[in-house]
Amino acid sequence: MLILSRFIDRGNEVIGKTVGWFILAAILLSAGNAVVRKLFNTSSNALLEAQWYLYGAAFLLAAAYTLKQNEHIRIDIVYGALSRRTQHWIDLLGHLFFLMPFAILMDVYFVSYVLQSYRSGEVSNNAGGLVLWPAKALLLIGMLLLTLQGISEIIKKIAVMRGIIPDPTPFVSAHEAAAQEGAELADKLAALQAEADKDARK
């Protein structure tokens, strides 16, 4: 099961880091559309919708990677005050009884939703717009990836609670980890500065 978890983690990590470039592509496309509209007084609905597709793809396809990194929004002021074991139980029960039922329900719903759009050749209502089924397919793919990552998180959480593996996310979030790392670095710098001042006085 841990091999399966590592395989899922690796796949979603590659996808999540790759689709981050879609944001840059969307920004460049948006800037290009604005320049063309100002200089040549023309525009393209297809290009406008393409930038929406890129942004949507980045958001949807990176959702699973965000879960892997433990960066989804939660009420940290409550969660962070609890013991790590209690946090593990909250995460495990949350994944089992909230994330997984919702994700599986969306997977089932989006299959027919995408197939219906594909079979009908659904196109945007905007003149010159794009076909819609690829955008709807992103919803399905994003939820499937999130479902897989949910399975991986459940496997890892049980393994951590049983002492089989070390906690892969010992902090509430990457922000907390960065804050602690920064504090440790500041302490080291202060110690080095104190040592330098001591040597200078000698």
Share of the chain above pLDDT 70, in %: 91
CB distance 110 to 104 below 8 Å: no
DSSP state of 131: B
Whole-number Cα distances in Å, 106 to 23, 78, 94, 177: 25, 29, 17, 33
Q: Share the mean pLDDT of the chain.
A: 87
Domain boundaries, the chain: 2-170, 174-202
For residue 123, the cross-strand partners are 131
Task: Report the C-alpha gap between 20 and 8 in whole angstroms.
Answer: 18
- Tell whether pTM > 0.75: yes
Greater pLDDT, 186 or 137 = 137
How confident is the model over 37-49, as pLDDT tens digits? 888 887 788 888 8
Q: Return the higher-pLDDT residue of 154 and 45.
A: 154
How does pLDDT run across 48-85, given as a tens digit for each residue?
889 989 999 999 999 999 999 888 776 667 777 788 88
Residue 172 has pLDDT above 60, yes or no: no
On the question of pLDDT at 175 being above 60, the answer is no
| Structure-token pair, residue 54 | 């890129």
